A and B are shown apart, each in its own frame.
Chain A
Amino acid sequence: MRGLLRSSMVLRWMLAALGLVVVLSIVQGLARPETTDLLSAGTAESTLRRAVPILLAGLGGIWAERAGVVNIGLEGMMVLGTWFGAWGALEFGPWWGMAFGIAGGACGGLLHAVATVGFGVDHIISGVAVNIIAPATARFLSREFFAGRPGGGLTQSPRVESVGSVDLPFVSGGDLFGWTTPDLFGWIDDQGWFLVSDTAALLSGITQSVSWATVVALALVPISVFLLWRTPIGLRIRASGEHPVAADSLGVNVYRMKFTAVVVSGGLAGFGGAFIAIEQTGIYRENQVQGRGFIGLATVIFGNWQPAGAFLGSLLFGFADALQLRDRTAVHALLLLIGVALAALAIRAVVQRRVRPAALLAVASASVLCWYAVTEEVVSELPPITPHVATLLVLVFATSRLRMPAGVGLRYRRGQE
């Protein structure tokens, strides 16, 4: 069993997902009269949709950092993605919008690459510069292109159309050659069976009316893994991020690898931005990225510089984001979940005989549970910051076992050691 677990990634992931559903089911059961949104089709659907931009930013971060470049400019590249996405969608249609968003983000990536790789500028400084330049550019372009149009202005575009969506046939009532197949998950969800219905709700949420852009974004996870770990260029990119001098000594063009990776990184972030504008809001609005680029960067660390890990992280943040938008009582129920999770960590610490962490975790767990018990609803300031608090918590608990590319953030000049 253990051998099988180790050998099969897929199995391990499925088990982890199942465990999560069980826990959520139980918490949902405990909090039943109060909220039903912790595990519903709506929440699952919303989680996935909110996770996509973060996932794309995370993938962008992985591409750049695997090549040794810190890309704190993801945020700005996403901003470029939102503007160019909306503009492209307005002028040529939603798919063109996605393409223009990617190109816009890639331009931001190119700027970052020229500064950091070409001129050896500090990666953080260049990234911050991109983050400052991008919104200013977007504002300028809005004045030029959106201001005169109906519904458009200095800070927003006219409404744009979204790309189509798809239902999975047979399980979520999708069409197959013009025939409407049954909605199996929806039916099970309605039965109200403990755990089974919850699982069906979750699956229904992620298979019903899924945007095609989401499908493309999800496909980018295995595609990134394939490109970075199975192809020569991927190996060269990773080697450039680990030990650029070694790569150079074997005839790898380190500059070209870093440029490529950072431009791809910007393109992914731009895709994420375009997704926000075209799919999530249907409009370009100033400041609509709201720090997702930075959260994407956090998922890079959370996911240990692995695409699958970043995907998991983005789902977590997407979940917190979805909850705070949909239902404040659900956030309250989430306190219960956090309390239980902290208690579990405390027990693990006790088993491992680590006294101080155990005590700290126990106290934290008790206070969160107390908070849950004595309040009806969380303070109104809490829900909007849930994703950010979740980010912090996750990073605090996950940082000890991380292994970042050895050459990240270092200035590389050929011929200098």
Chain B
Amino acid sequence: MTVKSSPTPVVELTGITKRFPGVVANDRVDLRVAEGEIHAVVGENGAGKSTLMKILYGMQSADEGRMQVNGSEVRFSSPAEAIDAGIGMVHQHFMLADNLTVLENVVLGAEPTRRGTIDRRSAHRDLEELGRSYGLDLHPDDLVETLEVGERQRVEIIKVLYRGARVLILDEPTAVLVPQEVEELFRNLRELKSQGHTIIFIDHKLAEVLAIADTITVLRQGRTVTTVDSSEVTAQELAELMVGSELPAPSTEPRASDEHVMLSMQGLSVADADGRSAVDAVNLDVHRGEIVGVAGVEGNGQGELIEAVLGLRPTSGGDLLLDGESMAGWPVRRRREAGIGYVPEDRHRRGLLPDAPLWENAMLGHQTQPPYARGPWLNRSGAREATTRIVSSFDVRTPGIDTSARALSGGNQQKLVIGREMQAGPRMLVAAHPTRGIDVGAQAAVWENLRTARRDGLAVLLVSADLEELIGLADRLVVMLRGRIVAELDPATTTPRLLGGHMTGAAGEATDDEGRTP
């Protein structure tokens, strides 16, 4: 065991408390970060990690507690003050203006000037120097909107270093990266550490945390559970510390599918706004009682594929059959009435009306069918009864069905959406990222719902960025890359790493022969 010779911590937070209306996000949280270490802060969604970091970075102010940086007491009322104290943050959702160049994004707020104008030449030089010394490869004059996710993250890191930060906070930096990009990021982080920077790393993927961190602080429900040395814990122990109980995990069970094809895509193509093929001649069958998982880096046609199945987006070629019947020319309404359920990717924008009560939300997409409608009229009492059933059988935790959807937590919103779709008794369910951004408990409930539905013969098309979810739930996995299906894998024998390889095209031809659909 490596005993930490505790030098003066660079950052020390003591008794930080932050309350939001109705919740205590941080409840007397303590955090000590030593100089030159990579310190991971882990916890479930809603454990208070992001709030804590926003407080440290001056984006929010704590209600109680003390902050010390380099041994002296500080109080930040804006990020500018945190930056001055040598703290920088790489946000989970990149803080980059797409229509500005890399250079403009980096120098913003700290522009070098020469006679009143921005001194682009010296900024250029500084950026390239930074890039060289930390191995962060970037072109200063590229527009940010043309960059890949990994590159954007490097811009974010450069941005922080450019301001002379010695302490870097990274908020779930790996959430948007594929495994290969994660390795690249970790190389960069180790390089930073070797040059004396301190890194605070927020995550909930335990394998990654154990791979990169020196010290780990676990938060649960807004409280510090413990701080441990990463060499002294296992992933299982960490997980139990995080959830405080036995860990739910998607586990496969014997497949219930038969040979009956519920949804069939035959050479399906979808053109994007520029006329290019976003989905390119995809052949894919989903059988009754089967979950087909679609993996892929976001933006490789999964979204378009789903929208084409729902009829939200016109197809440019091929055919779509539901239970053997062509859906060509069917409007969305007819497809829904024919028994296609839909769990949209973004429940706030597509799944719910945030300011409408639950019972109205429960009608959405089924408003023409009983029990929500009687003839041309809505059936209020029927809708309310149905909503009450959804709330009780899908364990939606809410004060009542007249509560607005906005008031519910993400997990409960999602349970309502899933319940709404299941209640209608679909034959086919299209689910996009069904557990994104919800807590572990709700996640387990959603998984259980999907599994139960499959057992009852529901065909499910599941698009997800959570590779473990895909591997755990799906009976068959396909990988989409640039609009094509590039591999079909058996979840029982695949690993996230292998999947990642196919998603980026790195696996290439080597596995192509065995991987491709016969």
Contact = CB atoms under 8 A, between A and B. Distances in A.
List of 9 A-B pairs having minimum Cβ-Cβ separation, nearest first: A251-B80, A242-B97, A246-B95, A250-B109, A232-B111, A243-B97, A230-B117, A252-B109, A251-B109
A403 B145 CA distance: 12
Given A250-B83, A250-B159, A239 B97 contact: yes
Nearest to A242: B97
Contact of B108 (A235, A403, A405, A415): A235
Interface of B: 57, 59-60, 78-80, 83, 89, 91, 93-100, 104-105, 107-111, 113, 116-118, 159, 163
Give the one of B78, B83, B97, B100 with max A CB within 10 A: B97
7 contacts: A230-B118, A231-B113, A231-B117, A231-B118, A247-B109, A250-B83, A251-B110
Contacts, number: 75
A171 interface: no
A405 B100 CA distance: 10
B79 A251 contact: yes
Interface in A398-417: 403, 405-406, 415, 417
Contacts of A406: 97-99
Contacts of A239: 97, 100, 104-105, 108
B107 A251 contact: no
A358 interface: no
Contacts of A417: 93
A226 B57 CA distance: 33
B200 to A, nearest CB: 16
A231 B114 CA distance: 9
A232 B118 contact: yes
Contacts of A238: 97, 100
Contacts of A231: 113, 116-118
B159 A235 contact: no
B142 to A, nearest CB: 16
B109 A403 contact: no
Give the one of B79, B96, B109 with max A CB within 10 A: B109
A405 B99 CA distance: 8
B302 to A, nearest CB: 24
A228 to B, nearest CB: 11
A33 B117 CA distance: 54
Interface of A: 226, 230-232, 235-236, 238-239, 242-243, 245-252, 403, 405-406, 415, 417
Contacts of B108: 235-236, 239, 246-247, 250, 252
Given A231-B116, A415-B59, A250 B79 contact: yes
B315 to A, nearest CB: 19
Nearest to B163: A250
B15 to A, nearest CB: 22
Nearest to B81: A251
Nearest to B99: A242
B83 to A, nearest CB: 6
B98 A243 contact: yes
Contacts of A405: 99
B99 A249 contact: no
Nearest to A405: B99
Given A232-B118, A242-B99, A251-B110, 13 more contacts: A235-B100, A242-B97, A242-B100, A245-B95, A246-B105, A247-B97, A247-B108, A249-B57, A250-B83, A250-B109, A250-B163, A251-B78, A251-B83
B59 A249 contact: yes
Nearest to A407: B97
Contacts of B100: 235, 238-239, 242
A242 B111 CA distance: 17
A357 B98 CA distance: 32
B118 A249 contact: no
A248 B97 contact: no
A242 B117 contact: no
A237 to B, nearest CB: 11
Nearest to B111: A232
A417 to B, nearest CB: 8
B146 to A, nearest CB: 13
Given A249-B59, A250-B79, A251-B78, A243 B117 contact: no
A59 B95 CA distance: 28
A232 B99 CA distance: 16
A238 B93 CA distance: 20
B111 A235 contact: yes
A9 to B, nearest CB: 17
Nearest to B120: A230
Given A230-B118, A238-B100, A243 B95 contact: yes
Contacts of B110: 250-251
Nearest to A400: B273
Give the one of A243, A245, A248, A405 with max B CB within 10 A: A243
A242 B98 contact: yes
A251 B89 CA distance: 12
A415 B118 CA distance: 28
A249 B98 contact: no
Give the one of A242, A245, A406 with max B CB within 10 A: A242
B107 A235 contact: yes
Given A239-B97, A242-B98, A405-B99, A232 B113 contact: yes
A249 B95 contact: yes
Contacts of A243: 95-98
A247 to B, nearest CB: 6
Nearest to B61: A415
Contacts of B97: 238-239, 242-243, 246-247, 406
Given A250-B79, A251-B79, A251-B109, A235 B104 contact: yes
A226 B118 CA distance: 10
A35 to B, nearest CB: 43
Contacts of A226: 117
A249 B91 contact: yes
Give the one of B60, B89, B110 with max A CB within 10 A: B110
A246 B83 contact: no
Contacts of A242: 97-100
Nearest to B109: A250
A190 B94 CA distance: 63
A415 B58 CA distance: 10
A242 B108 CA distance: 12
B102 to A, nearest CB: 13
A249 B60 contact: no
Nearest to A305: B99
A249 B89 contact: yes
A328 B99 CA distance: 44
A387 B56 CA distance: 56
Contacts of B60: 415
Contacts of A250: 79-80, 83, 95, 108-110, 159, 163
A235 B109 CA distance: 9
Contacts of B78: 251
A251 B160 CA distance: 12
A232 B118 CA distance: 6
Nearest to A248: B79
A415 to B, nearest CB: 6
Contacts of B107: 235
A242 B99 CA distance: 7
B93 to A, nearest CB: 8
Give the one of A239, A245, A415 with max B CB within 10 A: A239
A249 B117 contact: no
A123 B60 CA distance: 27
A265 B24 CA distance: 43
A235 B118 contact: yes
A155 B52 CA distance: 61
A405 to B, nearest CB: 7
A417 B94 CA distance: 12
B26 to A, nearest CB: 16
A243 B144 CA distance: 12
Nearest to B94: A246
